Structure 1
């Protein structure tokens, strides 16, 4: 990451301070501002750097598929589920999971994500077994999640769970 303005230098300092903690972070910024680069820098600079960094764009996957992608599924859970498949939470165990465009999640998916974050365990779609996970969640959005909470479009309790620290990336035109 490069940038010489005071605002981006402040982001770099914050990334350095966050790297060695496990607090959840939400990164805000316009499309193309490098939200995933910031998330990766947080991961790579911390104690989880030797473990996986897994990224997913929540807005690019239909809701019915997103649950399976994040949490995995059991064999036979739905048509085409030929074998049990772990989800991204399991793939990121011990590392970091970057959830890009978290504001695009449906209310039902937000509820399921909140439960996983609260319990520290995941249950694959169609399975009865729960699996403990240890994942640092770093989320991103180009939308104002506080405004979405006020409008009833995003769960307030989920926002508090994923946003202990807020990073606001300046637009590229400001670098």
Structure 2
């Protein structure tokens, strides 16, 4: 309630429901024509959550191969939508949650 982002929308993403092949499109967006079914430009969740809050639910389900793609935007706020060479920035507050046993995932290299 005391945050400067409190009056802004809460953008929610169920990470467990995103297929691996749609991960970048869902979070970073895509340009029209970037791939076969990209019939229109889609705004990604990080752009939607700019200057507000992005809730990443079930973050523990994110496959190891996709974690570096998320790490970049978490560290720098920078990302590119699929089909674009223009770097965008997001000033989203990130909240994440999971039911997974993260310490055991780390110990197992996941």
TM-score scaled by structure 1? Answer: 0.60
CA–CA distance in 1 between the matches of 2:69 and 2:108?
20
Give the alignment partner of residue 79 of structure 1, picking from 26, 33, 36: 36
Tell me the equivalent position of 1:150: 107
2:66 to 98, 101, 109: 109
The SS at the match of 2:79 is strand
Partner SS for 1:99: strand
Return the match for 1:132 from 77, 89, 94: 89
Give the unaligned 5+ runs of structure 1: 1-43, 154-175
SS at match of 1:113: helix
Say whether residues 1:123 and 2:60 are aligned partners. Answer: no
* TM superposition shift of 1:113: 0.2
Distance in 2 between residues matched to 1:149 and 1:125, nearest whole Å: 30
Quote the offset at 1:52 in angstroms. 2.0
* Maintained 8 Å contact 1:73/1:81: yes
Assess if the C-alpha contact under 8 Å between 1:73 and 1:87 holds in 2. yes
Q: How many residues align?
A: 110
Please tell me whether the aligned partners of residues 53 and 98 of structure 1 are also in contact (alpha carbons under 8 angstroms).
yes
**TM-score after normalising by structure 2:** 0.93
Whether the aligned pair in 2 keeps the contact of 1:52 and 1:93 (CA below 8 Å) is no
**How well do the aligned residues superpose, as a CA RMSD in angstroms?**
1.2
Q: 2:21 aligns with which of 51, 55, 64?
A: 64
1:126 CA drift (Å): 2.0
**Structure 1 stretches of 4+ moved >4 Å:** none
Corresponding position of 1:172: none
Distance 2:53 2:97 in 1: 13
SS for the counterpart of 1:97 is strand
